[in-house]
Structure 1
């Protein structure tokens, strides 16, 4: 199995302002598919990469940016990542879109969602 890159996610206390700032720098547009607390910047010079900006109450030291991936079989990937030394930090989301947050062996966080859910979410972003 292989993880599929999704986007680079940036924690922010004001995701709208930061997403707008980056959209202007990159010539892209802002999409609010999931509401004002999780925004995407697409297009412009980003190419196939997306930036995501998620609201946090407080900016923690060291975990301000993380990678998001998807996998064809989320639960199989969870098991494979744990067997390879990753630690599950938590699970979030709802019945429409859910993901698992991990820490790699050195404590860097990253997220993995089910590929079908991630693709459906990207399609609704326009």
Structure 2
């Protein structure tokens, strides 16, 4: 008998679930989905506007010690404007990469988790998203 599997979550660690929910909701244009109350002490679930993959925020007091092995990449038709928008939400610039014909920023969220802001990679999908104001 066969089975199915799929990516359901991209999990991000943070030490403050309320602030994590606010930052990542604003950064991604995501909406929080309700979880079973005991789970809300450790997790928050965000629904992305254009994907069935959820972002799961996980509360932890563990200190970040090294580079992540997985991270989120955001694409933008204006990298500098997107980086500035994310900085206003609490992210910081960490590493400006300009290698192999690419120009992008490695950013850190307020908890030190890395994510990248790339030039448009899938312009036909990016065109479906509303513009940030």
Q: Comparing both chains, which one has the higher relative contact order based on Cα–Cα distances under 8 Å and sequence gaps of 6 or more? A: 1
Which range, TM-score by smaller chain? Answer: 0.3 to 0.5
Give the number of the structure whose residues are more often strand, by fraction: 1
Structure with bigger gyration radius = 2
Normalized against structure 2, the TM-score is what? 0.40
Provide TM-score, normalisation by structure 1: 0.42
